[in-house]
A = this chain, B = another copy of it.
Amino acid sequence: MRAGERRITLADVAAEAGVSVACVSIVMRGAPGAGEATRERVLKVATELGYQPDSRARLLRSGRSRLLGVVFDVRHPFHHDLLTGLYDAAGAAGYQLTLSAVTPRRGERTAVGDLLQDRCEAIVLFGGTMRSAELASIASRLPVVAMMRSARRRDVDVVHNDDALGSHQAVDHLVSLGHRRIAHVDGGTVHGSAERRAGYQEAMRRHGLGEHIRVVPGGAGEEDGARAAERLLADPPTAVTVFNDLSATGLLDVLRHHGLRVPGDISVVGYDDTSLSRLAHIDLTTIGQDIDALAARAIERAVERIEGAPSGPRAVVIPPRLVVRSTTGAPPTAG
């Protein structure tokens, strides 16, 4: 029905209000340089006509877009929590977010490509599988902040959780409960996996439990945890730290099916504090990432780069925190 209707522009409002286009622009932006009476009249006319500013034209002219591109993966629940934080942080810094999703049929390259065309001023990307070199080539065009992953290159900012510290917290917690035989289920090739594994090993050694170090291959999925549990069953430890919550869920399921009580016979610690871990019947002790801090620092780095401030080190590491729930307790036999 509104096919032929032309959109309302500044010129329409100006004509109707009997002032110049420039004047309407001033009023719309809330810039100084217009009288109170005119201001009111123009605003009234604008709402009457249903004027909507055209951000494209606005940004085209003003050179800057004040737009931050975000690449996230629709499959990753954690990414969605992070989006919430990013919107807040970006808004506070006076920037807008433009989202580009990675889906099973839409790769990271496509997602980034769209953002580049949108003329955003920096790109924030979550995890992903891009090689450092590829990141660097994007970073040669505009500032890039990578979250929840590392990057060798010095030209990419990195903001992530302190995976090693998270593993330390998990091990410390278990040791303080009296555990000694603590195993770790690995995350395979996923970002952060190596750090979490190394953190586990380091913490074990620090507690003088080097001889009990036991790393079981795993991955990021539920079935990876399930497979790891099958392996562990031959000679169950009294506690396990798992790469992430989803894998821990699969592990829990298999352990319980084989008659082991959690935490009576074996304690389990996940990682990420996802909504999954909060479900009543899972109620998983886990390591929580500080989402708001991660988001705030990521935006901060992006804005610093954009505005050319001499920023500090390129890597920002946020300490996680232990979230104790019901899957951890004292080991079956004291000592």
Beta-carbon contact of A279 and B249 below 8 Å: yes
The quantity of this chain's copies bound in the complex is 2
A280 at the interface (CB under 8 A from B): yes
Contact between B253 and A56, CB atoms less than 8 A apart: no
A131 within 8 A of B: no
Taken together as a complex, chains A and B put the C-alpha atoms of A96 and B106 apart, in Å, by 13
Question: Could you tell me which A residues sit within 8 Å of B by CB distance?
Answer: 2-3, 50, 52-57, 59-60, 65, 74-75, 77, 80-81, 83-84, 87-88, 96, 98-101, 103-106, 114, 116-119, 140-142, 222-223, 226, 249-250, 252-253, 256-257, 276, 279-281, 308
CB-based nearest B residue for A5: B141
Question: Bound complex: CA of A140 vs CA of B5, how far in Å?
Answer: 11
Please name the residue on chain B nearest to A97 by beta carbon.
B101
**Listed A/B pairs (6) with beta-carbon separation below 8 Å:** A2-B141, A56-B60, A74-B81, A74-B84, A84-B104, A253-B281
User: Contact at B55–A119, with CB atoms within 8 Å?
Assistant: yes
- Taken together as a complex, chains A and B put the C-alpha atoms of A26 and B210 apart, in Å, by 67
Contacting pair A106 B119 (CB below 8 A): no
Alpha-carbon distance between A54 and B116 when the two chains are bound, in angstroms: 8
A134 to chain B, nearest CB (A): 15
A53 / chain B contacts, CB cutoff of 8 Å: 117
Residues of B within 8 A of A55 (CB): 117-119
Report how far A60 CA is from B58 CA in the complex, Å.
10
Tell me, rounded to whole Å, the shortest Cβ–Cβ distance linking A88 to chain B: 6
Chain B residues within an 8 Å CB radius of A117: 52-55
Q: Are B88 and A80 in contact (CB under 8 A)?
A: no
